[in-house]
Amino acid sequence: MKELLDYLHSLEDLELIILSGANTLFVRWYLDAMGINGVSQILSNFAEVKDGRLVVRCHHNQTWCHMCSKNLCKGRLLENLIQERTKSGVSHLSVVYFGDGKNDFRPTLKLSEHDVVFPRHGFPLHKLVMQNSSDVKAKLFSWKSGFEVIEIFKKKLFIH
């Protein structure tokens, strides 16, 4: 996975953002432990160490989405992110979304035909996408390893 994130970071005009159902602290610890740089934003549940204890707060308490957990709707986070980027003048915005869990299905449904989704083969998102392929507008590439994704970028998406 490190090789994939390093490769994506090397691409021009690509912003790496992580949407995670975990929490900001765990994601940051993982990235630091793996020596991964270039992630501009982590959207997740909030976490901090306070008085020697891990304190985690929900990103939001949502009731509008039955596909996601109550503490975080990745679909809403993705919608908000796209709106923010559009308002700030980002043109030709395309989203390349990687996911494996069932909580990644909602954001997948928010993607357009200009976007790409990479469901991890054999995981819940892959199964949901295959069962509901007519609802998914984005280009679809399943993957098993980060090296496979790099090859897809180079050979099928023509991004070097």
CA distance 63 to 69: 9
What are the phi and psi torsion angles at 132 (to 5°)?
Answer: -125, 35
Beta strands 39-50 and 53-57: pairing type?
A: antiparallel
What are the phi and psi torsion angles at 64 (to 5°)?
Answer: -90, -15
Two tokens at 150? Answer: 């790099």
DSSP letter at 134 equals G
Q: 107 with 73: CB under 8 angstroms?
A: no
Helix (H), strand (E) at residue 14: none
Is 6 marked as a binding-site residue? Answer: no
CA distance 142 to 125: 10
CA distance 71 to 83: 21
**Which residues are annotated as part of the binding site for Mg(2+)?**
100
Which positions make up the binding site? Answer: 100
